[in-house]
Amino acid sequence: MRSGRVLINNAVVTDLATKVEPTDIVRVGRKVVRPQPHVYILLNKPVGYVCSAADELGRKTIFDLVPAAKQGRLFHVGRLDKDSAGLILLTNDGDFAERLTHPSHQIDKEYEVVLDQAFDPERTPKLLRGMTLEIGRARMESVHVLAPKKLKVVLRQGLKRQIREMFFFLGYRVEKLVRVRIGPLSDPRLKTGYWRPLDREEIAALRESATSKPREPRRTPVDGASASKRPIGRKPSHRPPSRRKAPVSKRPAAKKAAE
């Protein structure tokens, strides 16, 4: 543009902030430039793949699973680490991706987690209140116990290896981690390693969830609730779970505003 090679409607344009309308004709030299159609893909990532367009260590990447990625400039929305699996979005729509990842929009991301040992429900309030780790201040929005070692957790943050680090802080090791929902979007029928394009309704639902006002923090009851809905708990330490039980607090633990 600075060299005068870009023309919009046959007029040379050198201002880098120039906005192009859908009806404009854009040329670079003699070649007409046409916008690339937006692509929205849902991928069920397997374990062992990294979220990167190219890996310096030669590891398999999520784009190896999507041949269409070679035909355009797709990028991933958020990420899952190499040892994690589940749903991840790929797109070439930068505005769409920015809305979904911006902290102010608080998009829910739901995970199924399998631990190396039975989870003590009394540890739940610590996960909900949050903790200060090397990666930053980390917290969960909800924790539901599905089985002794299996939980369903919801995040609105996107800190690196957040779930693994939070459970490690409490003395647990995550053996399996699968993302099963992104905002309103889930697909239990999508097989691991497969992908599909999003339909119009799904794209609209994601846009709506990313433009809605941030939700007010809610208070989490800790007394008289089942572990699957309103977990009870005591104030835990960072040490591994102990069999000794402490009195259950009668006061609800107020949750901090989501980051």
pLDDT digit string (tens) for 12-42? 999 999 988 888 899 998 898 887 788 999 9
In angstroms, rounded to a whole number, what is the distance separating the alpha carbons of residues 240 and 130? Answer: 17
The CATH number of the domain covering residues in 108-181: 3.30.70.1560
Query: pLDDT, tens digit, for every residue of 164-218?
Result: 999 999 999 999 999 999 999 999 999 999 999 999 999 999 998 876 554 444 4
Could you tell me the residue ranges of all domains in the chain? 1-35, 37-106+183-213, 108-181
CATH code at 37-106+183-213: 3.30.70.580
Strands 31-33 and 75-77: unpaired
Is 81 an active-site residue? yes
pLDDT tens per residue, range 84-133: 999 999 999 988 998 888 877 778 999 999 999 999 999 999 999 999 99
Residue of 81, 83, 93, 108 marked active site: 81
98 phi, psi to nearest 5 deg: -65, -40
Q: Distance (Å, rounded) from C-alpha 79 to C-alpha 63? A: 13
| pLDDT digit string, tens, across residues 235-249 | 333 444 444 444 444
Q: Do the two domains 37-106+183-213 and 108-181 of this chain adopt the same fold?
A: yes
Phi and psi at residue 152, to the nearest 5° = -115, 125
Instruction: Say how many C-beta atoms besides its own lie within 10 A of residue 113's C-beta.
Output: 22
